[in-house]
Structure 1
Amino acid sequence: MSAVLCVGEGLISLTPPTHTPLESATELVVSTGGAEVNVAIHLARLDVPTRFAGKVGADPFGARLRHTLDNAGVDTRHLEEHPDLPTGLYVKDATGGTTTSRYYRQGSAATTYRRVPNAALVGVGHVHLTGITPALSDDCHVLVRDLLALEHVRTSFDVNYRRALWDVPEAAQVLRSLASRADTVFVGLDEAGEVWGSETPEEVRRLLPQPSELVVKDGSHEAVAFVGSQVHRVPAPPVEVIEPVGAGDAFAAGYLAARHFGLDSDRALRWGHALAGTVLRVLADHALIDRTILENQAREGALDDVES
């Protein structure tokens, strides 16, 4: 079975207790994050052979990221270390009742990553990327562009627009160009509206006709998959939200895992909803859930308690 290679930025996440503003928090939970890291961890836990490539600092946070990926079953042989630059981190802040993320990644090791070694691509049938990476540096932009041009592998691209990294005019052009080159694209309807002015999933599809699979996530309402000329819609099950960061990555991982195992798009959307639901109910960016539990939740539309 071919492997999935996730390429991007690994981050350390610092999270106050539930609904606690950062200004008044007296403790922080340390965990790992980063969109591509989250996807890699979920895929590996769902029995998909997974690798991760990127660059972290030669520091305790970088070591923690490597250990977390290793423990999840992700192949980290191609995770590089920069001897001088630090591992990036972000802090979650619940000030005002809405969770926001404050990033400390400028000048991090990940911003210098430029090329995936050929050895990392041996046995890989799928490469997963996000729109966060090209915003980190010119080198990272070229990295993503080159990977999306690879032949003989499938590619997926999660738009993941981050307004803290770049402004709308630049992001709109770059993200559309990169997304048009991928086989599978994930995008939230809210971010498609912010970046491209798209108001419906159908408008997003008209903007991005090239991907063979386009998945548009409409928050707690539904997810829509455009697969060739077919349209698949699956409502999102209700879930009590504890902390939203990482849910989009979980959705992408659930969908990709289902497709990896040959499931149809409707079931893949259900896997995406189920895995996103587990992450919405924990403080961390990923949750401990195996393939059997996920299959049951996707089938029944029920979300059982899981560990973070």
Structure 2
Amino acid sequence: MLCVGETMAVFTPAEAGPPEDVRTWVRGVGGAESNVACALVAHGVPAGWASAVGDDPFGRAVVAAVAAAGVDVSHVRVDPARPTGLYLKEADRAGSAVRYYRAGSAASALGPGLLDRLDLASVSYVHVSGITAALSPSCLALVRALLAHPGVTTSFDVNWRPALWGPAGPDVLRSLAAAADLVLVGDDEAEALWGVSEPAAVREVLPEPGTLVVKQGAVDATVLEAGGPPVFEPALRVDVVEPVGAGDAFAAGYLAATLAGASPARRLRTGHLAAAGALRTVSDMAVPLPPADVARLLDADPATWAAATVTSSGVH
């Protein structure tokens, strides 16, 4: 699988207090598509990441971190003129505030010309998100070109970021989602974009994709496939440390199970288990749950699944 999009250097406070008083920060990396690629590799799925970074220490650190996770980074371009984007994150279990410094970044200059450097004939699946589409007109054109490329199965995570979009955002994101084979969207995102949140209503807005996954926060997730009934699985109870990256982990788990030919319910459970690993860390990249716990819960009866809780001491 190939994931295409921007990844930035991420800084989180290493000490308590308001951001203006923090003097020590911890550097990490974060980007929706590379998060998915790293999580896919953790699930045993070969994955590549295509993007651009600046010719700077942050860019080298980003590429090294993604490569260290086992992702193929051979399609990452080093831009000699533009910088690597970065953002600051105030980690909090209720939802982390972030401040982006990505205007004019190397990745924002990506465009349809990237396809000339990709061997898409050897790629069976491409994953993109609405974040990349919002970065610049050329990035939007790139996402459109990837979604329209013949012979490639595509997945699209809406990843609504209102600060990146103008008033055209809802219409543009609907058109991008309509062009994908598989779409992932949160019910809160659908409500903000199109005024609907129930899975059946979201499906009325997006009848085109063969598969639509509606994530309903900490409650459950529902998959609607052409010609089949809706299937839902409740989310796991998790002692949340910080939520950023959980949606990407869910996407990776769902996609990995899809590629393995799993049933809709098992795909959703795999997504929930992967998301739980992201919810238990301040890093944007998920830390997988112990394999024994994953195997046990994937095959658990509904009562056992519903009773499971993920905490700092393990899965109970």
Give 2:243's aligned residue.
Answer: 244
Please, what TM-score do these two structures have when normalized by structure 2?
Answer: 0.90
**Distance in 1 of aligned mates of 2:131 and 2:96:** 19
Give 1:268's aligned residue.
Answer: 267
Task: Note if contact 2:182-2:209 (Cα within 8 Å) is conserved in structure 1.
Answer: yes
Give 1:76's aligned residue.
Answer: 73
What is the deviation of 1:122? 4.0
Could you list the per-position Cα deviations for residues 241-280 of structure 1 after superposition, in whole angstroms to 9, with x for gaps in the alignment?
1111111001100000011111111001001111111111
Change (3 A) 1:29 1:299: farther
Could you list the per-position Cα deviations for residues 14-58 of structure 1 after superposition, in whole angstroms to 9, with x for gaps in the alignment?
112487542333322211101001001000121101111111111
Give 2:286's aligned residue.
Answer: 287
SS of the aligned residue for 1:164 comes to helix
Give 2:203's aligned residue.
Answer: 205
Give 1:253's aligned residue.
Answer: 252
Identity %: 45
Change (3 A) 1:127 1:18: farther
* 1:166 corresponds to 2:175: no
Give 1:48's aligned residue.
Answer: 45
Task: Note if contact 2:33-2:128 (Cα within 8 Å) is conserved in structure 1.
Answer: yes
Unmatched segments (≥5 aa) in structure 2: none
Task: Note if contact 1:57-1:85 (Cα within 8 Å) is conserved in structure 2.
Answer: yes
**Distance in 2 of aligned mates of 1:189 and 1:35:** 18
Give 2:214's aligned residue.
Answer: 216
Task: Note if contact 1:7-1:36 (Cα within 8 Å) is conserved in structure 2.
Answer: yes
Give 1:137's aligned residue.
Answer: 136
Please, what TM-score do these two structures have when normalized by structure 1?
Answer: 0.92
**Distance in 1 of aligned mates of 2:200 and 2:28:** 37
Which aligned pairs between 1:292-307 and structure 2 lie closer than 5 A? Answer: 292-293=291-292, 294-300=294-300, 301=305, 302=308, 303=310
Could you list the per-position Cα deviations for residues 97-116 of structure 1 after superposition, in whole angstroms to 9, with x for gaps in the alignment?
75211111000000101123
What is the deviation of 1:201? 1.4
**Distance in 1 of aligned mates of 2:142 and 2:95:** 33
SS of the aligned residue for 2:86 comes to strand
Task: Note if contact 1:18-1:283 (Cα within 8 Å) is conserved in structure 2.
Answer: no
**Distance in 2 of aligned mates of 1:96 and 1:281:** 9
SS of the aligned residue for 2:53 comes to strand
Aligned partner letter, 1:181? A
Give 1:10's aligned residue.
Answer: 7
**Distance in 2 of aligned mates of 1:93 and 1:225:** 32
**Distance in 2 of aligned mates of 1:104 and 1:164:** 13
SS of the aligned residue for 1:133 comes to helix
**Distance in 1 of aligned mates of 2:212 and 2:69:** 28
Task: Note if contact 1:40-1:51 (Cα within 8 Å) is conserved in structure 2.
Answer: yes
**Distance in 1 of aligned mates of 2:273 and 2:188:** 20
Could you list the per-position Cα deviations for residues 70-121 of structure 1 after superposition, in whole angstroms to 9, with x for gaps in the alignment?
1111111110010011110111125897521111100000010112335442
2:193 is matched with which residue: 188, 192, 195? Answer: 195
**Distance in 2 of aligned mates of 1:299 and 1:19:** 41
Higher mean C-alpha displacement, 172-181 vs 279-288: 279-288
Change (3 A) 1:161 1:180: same
SS of the aligned residue for 2:162 comes to coil
RMSD value over aligned CA atoms?
2.2
**Distance in 1 of aligned mates of 2:94 and 2:146:** 39
Task: Note if contact 1:278-1:306 (Cα within 8 Å) is conserved in structure 2.
Answer: no
**Distance in 2 of aligned mates of 1:152 and 1:261:** 19
Aligned partner letter, 1:275? A
Task: Note if contact 1:62-1:87 (Cα within 8 Å) is conserved in structure 2.
Answer: yes
Task: Note if contact 1:53-1:120 (Cα within 8 Å) is conserved in structure 2.
Answer: no
**Distance in 2 of aligned mates of 1:306 and 1:65:** 30
Aligned length: 303
Higher mean C-alpha displacement, 185-194 vs 93-102: 93-102
Could you list the per-position Cα deviations for residues 117-147 of structure 1 after superposition, in whole angstroms to 9, with x for gaps in the alignment?
3544242100000001111001000000000
Unmatched segments (≥5 aa) in structure 1: none
